Every structure is written in structure tokens, then in C-alpha cells.
């Protein structure tokens, strides 16, 4: 069966050249699935894998817009509708200059498995643009979002495809995108998640991915009769996921000591407190400044600028027990993974999508640490989006406690399913196999039921 999956991977690479992130995401899943395919030849006969690797639909479009000086710009927009076997397409939009077809295909592919794990009826998708919101005025961001939605609106809908946020798409962008959709369609529906609280949003949605990654880490620790209290934690990024990861870590009595952005990182030996986090939220969400300012404000912190010539990220080279990568893909390479292990890290819960390279993942698995892959550990965001959709359909709003309890229970269930599945397939403690196999089985069985479509 190993030959079979190697053959599929070779074909994916040949058919989708210049998409290394997509190859990486497929490879990681295929390595886990060899175990399932041996027991279930019916999936091979129905070519389920080949069908899951091929998006149901890819939409690529021109986004022309005008800046404040009146100059014209042309960006590229995408929506990858990967798989709708268990529900309407669902997944975030990313606005970042690095965005390309391969990156969005990897994200959409991961999303299919992640959404299946949430226990909610959601298919997988992802989209975005190579537009860079950094340094743009609110009016420029609004004009871009309106131009982007003026094409995307014809491909989405509350029962078809429900986008959300991701890197570079937060509350401001969701507002502009939703406003334009509403105008074009002349309908007020739950077509997007991450909406404002007064117009259909859910409490806890902004917090959900970060909180969920921490709940997942705590569940992994429980298997060793431990918890997060008193643990030192390394957190990367300083956006939505990083902020609420730290918020929950503070509540649980852990000591988070790092934050980063693409320009560099801060190390705060004294620990990031609620007051310091409030400063970061204002800095990043309101003033849209750089993390370097943290070290100007708080003297216990040291700022280190990013150095592209380095073969590792120094953020991952500090003594700690836990790591929460919450910035972007492949931010932990083999050297970083080995530094983390050397410095005592034995819990890694991925808030970001695919933040660890395959070589790094293999080191974590070989060391038998508690390693929660993104498609399980960061599923809290999309799960709470699913809860937002449910509230929109019923035209009601749950309380903070209700949503947080549901989020907590979903993360507990995802952990349990991954843990049990890994055990059932003879690889106890391997959450990568657990997540890939459990997600695959749910989607594959739905596809088998629905025939050749
Ligand atoms: P934000 O845009 O709010 O924050 C992203 C953070 O990561 C910023 O600090 C940013 O720094 C940094 N970053 C982004 N790209 C790079 C890069 N290429 N190199 C170095 N730093 C970088 O995004 P989110 O917090 O929403 O997303 C973070 C991660 O979590 C992503 O991998 C996303 O896919 C994943 N995720 C998010 C979910 C959500 O609900 N938001 C759900 C599940 C996963 P800078 O500002 O300098 O670019």
C-alpha cells in the first residue's frame, strides 16, 4: 500500500508543479492513510484519494482597485472549493502577498479534514488574494474588499460556501466583504462568519482558534495527568490566534514569554500579563503597529529583528515546556524542532496551519512528545464558525458561556477521536495519524454514499 500512496504523491507533484506546500500537505496525509487503505481496499477501488486531492472547483479572478492617490492596482483573487461531501464549502480568506494557488490548495485540503473533525456539517474551502493590507488606509482596504466581493459573491452563499477570516482578514475586512455581498445580493444571510456582534456574529468567535489550541494542549497533557499551570510557553505571531492563545494561557496560570511578527520577535522573561496583552491588542488591532514597540514599552522584554540569513528561528530557541506556533506555514523547520526538543519543549499545539515542516514533524513524533497538528489543534475557529452558522439559521444568539462550553466540548471530542483513532490503528499517541485517519474516514464514507460526483 505504501507503493500505492507514493505513486499518488508522484502524480500529484507532476500534475501540480510549483505547489510545494500542497505537495507537503498531501504527503503528510498519505503517509497516515497507508494504514487505512490496507484495511479498506474499497476506498482505493472508488479512487477516493484521487478525488479528494482534486478540488471540486477552483475560481481565480482579477481584482482591480484604486488607491488613495488614484493609482490603479490589479491583484489576483482565488476561491478553492475543495470538498462538499459532508456540508457546504467552508474556510477562511487570506490576504497576504505570499498567497498563490498552491498555498490556498494546501489550506483548502487541510480544511477538509479539520472541518470533518469538528463533528459539524461543513465541507472544506479556502480563498484569498495576494493583496497586502499592511500599510493601506481603511478606505483602500474597503475598496479592495468591495472589488474582491464583486466577483466572489456569485460563487458563495449561506448554503453553498461560507468564507471567514484568516491571515490579513479580520473584523474590519469581514465587515467590508459582508457589506458588499449584502448590497449585491439584496439579502441579509449568514454568508460569512466572523461577523460583528450586532450583525449576526457569535461571541467567542474571535477567541476561538487560540482558546481551542490551548484546550487541545490541556487535553493532551491530561493523558499524562498534567496541566498547563506554571508551564512556560513560546507563542509565535501576534495576530488573532496568538493573542487569544496568550489570553487563555494567562487564565490557566501559564507563563507565555514570546510574540512575533514578520519583522522580528520579543522575549519577555517576566511573562506576558493581561495588561501587556491589552497593549498588544491595541498595537496590532487598532494602531496596526509592529511588535518591536512591545520592547520599547516593557523593559523586561528583548526584541530581536528577523534575520533571513539564519537557518533557524531564534524564537524557538528558549527554555520552555510548551510551544504554540501561531503565525504561518513552515515556521518550524528541522533545526527549530531540534532546538525545541533540546530546550525541554514536550507539548506543541499548532494554532497556525501546517507550521511545522515534515522533517520537524518526524522529529516530534520520534521523540514521542505531545504534538497536536494544526488540523486538530486549531479546529476551534472553524468549529465556532459552525456555531455562528447555527445561530444565524435559528436567528438566535447564545451567551458567552454557552458558546465557550460548546467550543470546549468540541475540542475535547476532537482530542478524544484523534487519540482513540491513533490507538486503533496501532500508533498510540500519534495525533497526526489520528487526525488524518478520523477526518478521512468521515469524508470518504460520505463520498462513497453519494456515488461518483
Ligand atoms: P493574523 O493576520 O491575525 O496574524 C498573523 C500573524 O502571523 C501576524 O503576527 C503576522 O505578522 C505573522 N505572519 C504572517 N505571515 C507571516 C510570515 N510569512 N512570516 C512571519 N510572520 C508572519 O492571522 P491569524 O492569527 O488569523 O492566523 C495565524 C495562523 O493561524 C495562520 O496560519 C492561519 O491560517 C491559522 N488559523 C487561523 C484561524 C483563525 O480563526 N483566524 C483558524 C485556524 C487557523 P505580520 O503582521 O508582520 O505579517
User: CA-to-CA distance for 291 and 266, rounded, in angstroms?
Assistant: 7
- How many whole angstroms from 361 Cα to the centroid of ligand 1? 20
418 CB-side CA count, 13 A: 33
In this prediction, residue 194 carries a pLDDT of 97
Which protein residues touch ligand 1 with a CB less than 6 Å away? Answer: 96, 98, 165-168, 170, 209, 237-241, 261-263, 326-328, 351-353, 378, 381
| pLDDT per position as a tens digit, 152-191 | 999 999 999 999 999 999 999 999 999 999 999 999 999 9
Secondary structure (3-state) at 356: strand
In this prediction, residue 314 carries a pLDDT of 98
Torsion sign across C-alpha atoms 22, 28, 31, 36: negative
Secondary structure (3-state) at 191: coil
Report how many helices (DSSP H) and strands (DSSP E) the chain contains, helices first: 17, 13
User: CA-to-CA distance for 42 and 48, rounded, in angstroms?
Assistant: 9
Longest dimension (CA), the chain: 63
User: Helix, strand, coil shares of the chain as percentages rounded to 5?
Assistant: 50, 15, 35
SS3 of 70-90: the string is: CCEEEEEEEEEEEECCCCCEE
User: CA-to-CA distance for 313 and 234, rounded, in angstroms?
Assistant: 12
| Sequence-ordered list of residues with C-beta below 8 angstroms from that of 63, at least 6 positions apart, any chain | 74, 75, 76, 77, 129, 131, 144, 147, 148, 151
User: CA-to-CA distance for 247 and 351, rounded, in angstroms?
Assistant: 14
- The catalytic site residues sit at 126
Secondary structure (3-state) at 211: helix
Query: Which residue stretches of 153-204 are H helix?
Result: 171-185
Q: Which atom of ligand 1 is nearest to the CA of 355?
A: 32
Grid coordinates of 381: 475557529
Q: H or E element: which one contains 407?
A: helix 400-424
- How many whole angstroms from 316 Cα to the centroid of ligand 1? 17
Burial of 279 by CB count in 10 Å (0-12 exposed, 13-18 middle, 19+ buried)? Answer: middle
In this prediction, residue 1 carries a pLDDT of 59
260, 327 contact by CB (below 8 A): yes
Closest residue by Cα to atom 11, ligand 1, is 261
- Other Cβ atoms closer than 10 A to 103: 26
In this prediction, residue 119 carries a pLDDT of 94
In this prediction, residue 4 carries a pLDDT of 81
Residue-range domains of the chain with CATH: 55-188 (3.40.50.10860), 208-377 (3.40.50.720)
In this prediction, residue 2 carries a pLDDT of 65
Beta-ladder partners of 260: 265
pTM of the entire structure? 0.97
Residue 437: C-alpha distances to residues 34, 203, 375 (Å) = 10, 31, 12
DSSP state of 283: I
- DSSP labels, 197-240: GGGT--TTHHHHHHHHHHHHHHHHHHTTT--STT-EEEE---SH
User: CA-to-CA distance for 287 and 29, rounded, in angstroms?
Assistant: 40
| pLDDT per position as a tens digit, 433-451 | 999 999 999 999 999 999 9
Closest residue by Cα to atom 44, ligand 1, is 352
- How many whole angstroms from 187 Cα to the centroid of ligand 1? 31
In this prediction, residue 388 carries a pLDDT of 97
Closest residue by Cα to atom 48, ligand 1, is 262
Residue 36's nearest CA partner among 446, 449, 434 is 434
Q: Which atom of ligand 1 is nearest to the CA of 194?
A: 40
- How many whole angstroms from 19 Cα to the centroid of ligand 1? 20
User: CA-to-CA distance for 414 and 410, rounded, in angstroms?
Assistant: 6
Cell 522573561 found at: 269
pLDDT < 70 regions, the chain:
1-2
User: CA-to-CA distance for 350 and 332, rounded, in angstroms?
Assistant: 11
Mutate to test the pocket of ligand 1, among 104, 195, 328 (most ligand atoms within 8 A of CB): 328
CA angle 244, 391, 439 (to 5 degrees): 65
Mutate to test the pocket of ligand 1, among 94, 118, 207, 240 (most ligand atoms within 8 A of CB): 240
Q: H or E element: which one contains 69?
A: none
96, 134 contact by CB (below 8 A): no
In this prediction, residue 35 carries a pLDDT of 83
- How many whole angstroms from 439 Cα to the centroid of ligand 1? 24
Amino acid at each position: 500500500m505504501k507503493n500505492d500512496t507514493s505513486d499518488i504523491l508522484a502524480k500529484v507533484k507532476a500534475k501540480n508543479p510549483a505547489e510545494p506546500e500542497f505537495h507537503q500537505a498531501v504527503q503528510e496525509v498519505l503517509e497516515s492513510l497507508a494504514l487505512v487503505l490496507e484495511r479498506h481496499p474499497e476506498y482505493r477501488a472508488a479512487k477516493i484519494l484521487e478525488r479528494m486531492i482534486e478540488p471540486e472547483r477552483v475560481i481565480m479572478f482579477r481584482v482591480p482597485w484604486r488607491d488613495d492617490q488614484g493609482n490603479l492596482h490589479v491583484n489576483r483573487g482565488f476561491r478553492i472549493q475543495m470538498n462538499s461531501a459532508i456540508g457546504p464549502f467552508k474556510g477562511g480568506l487570506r490576504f497576504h502577498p505570499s498567497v498563490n494557488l498552491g498555498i490556498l490548495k494546501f489550506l483548502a485540503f487541510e480544511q477538509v479534514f479539520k472541518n470533518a473533525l469538528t463533528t459539524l456539517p461543513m465541507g472544506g474551502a479556502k480563498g484569498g488574494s495576494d493583496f497586502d493590507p499592511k500599510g493601506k488606509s481603511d478606505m483602500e482596504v474597503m475598496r479592495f474588499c468591495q472589488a474582491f466581493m464583486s466577483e466572489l459573491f456569485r460563487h458563495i452563499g449561506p448554503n453553498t460556501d461560507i468564507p471567514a477570516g484568516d491571515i490579513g482578514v479580520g473584523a474590519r475586512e469581514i465587515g467590508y466583504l459582508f457589506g458588499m455581498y449584502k448590497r449585491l445580493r439584496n439579502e441579509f444571510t449568514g454568508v460569512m462568519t466572523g461577523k460583528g456582534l450586532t450583525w449576526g456574529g457569535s461571541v467567542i468567535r474571535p477567541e476561538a482558534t487560540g482558546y481551542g489550541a490551548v484546550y487541545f494542549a490541556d487535553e493532551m497533557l491530561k493523558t499524562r495527568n498534567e496541566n498547563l499551570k506554571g508551564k512556560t510557553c513560546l507563542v509565535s505571531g501576534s495576530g488573532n490566534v496568538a493573542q487569544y492563545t496568550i489570553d487563555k494561557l494567562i487564565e490557566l496560570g501559564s507563563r507565555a514569554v514570546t510574540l512575533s511578527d514578520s519583522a522580528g520577535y520579543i522575549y519577555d522573561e517576566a511573562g506576558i500579563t493581561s495588561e501587556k496583552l491589552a497593549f498588544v491588542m491595541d498595537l496590532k488591532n487598532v494602531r496596526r503597529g509592529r511588535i518591536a514597540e512591545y520592547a520599547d514599552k516593557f523593559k523586561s522584554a528583548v526584541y530581536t529583528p528577523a534575520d533571513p540569513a539564519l537557518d533557524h528561528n531564534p524564537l524557538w530557541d528558549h527554555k520552555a515546556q510548551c510551544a504554540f506556533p501561531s503565525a504561518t506555514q513552515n515556521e518550524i523547520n528541522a533545526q527549530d524542532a531540534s532546538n525545541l526538543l533540546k530546550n525541554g519543549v514536550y507539548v506543541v499545539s499548532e494554532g497556525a496551519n501546517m507550521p511545522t515542516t515534515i522533517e520537524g514533524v518526524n522529529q516530534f513524533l520520534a521523540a514521542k512528545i505531545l504534538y497536536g497538528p494544526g488540523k486538530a489543534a486549531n479546529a476551534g475557529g472553524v468549529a465556532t464558525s459552525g456555531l455562528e452558522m447555527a445561530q444565524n439559521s435559528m436567528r438566535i444568539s447564545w451567551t458567552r458561556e454557552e458558546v465557550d462550553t460548546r467550543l470546549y466540548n468540541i475540542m475535547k471530542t476532537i482530542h478524544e477521536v484523534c487519540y482513540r483513532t491513533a490507538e486503533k490503528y496501532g500508533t498510540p499517541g500519534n495525533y497526526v495519524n489520528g487526525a488524518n485517519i478520523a477526518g478521512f474516514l468521515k469524508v470518504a464514507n460520505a463520498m462513497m454514499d453519494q456515488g461518483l460526483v
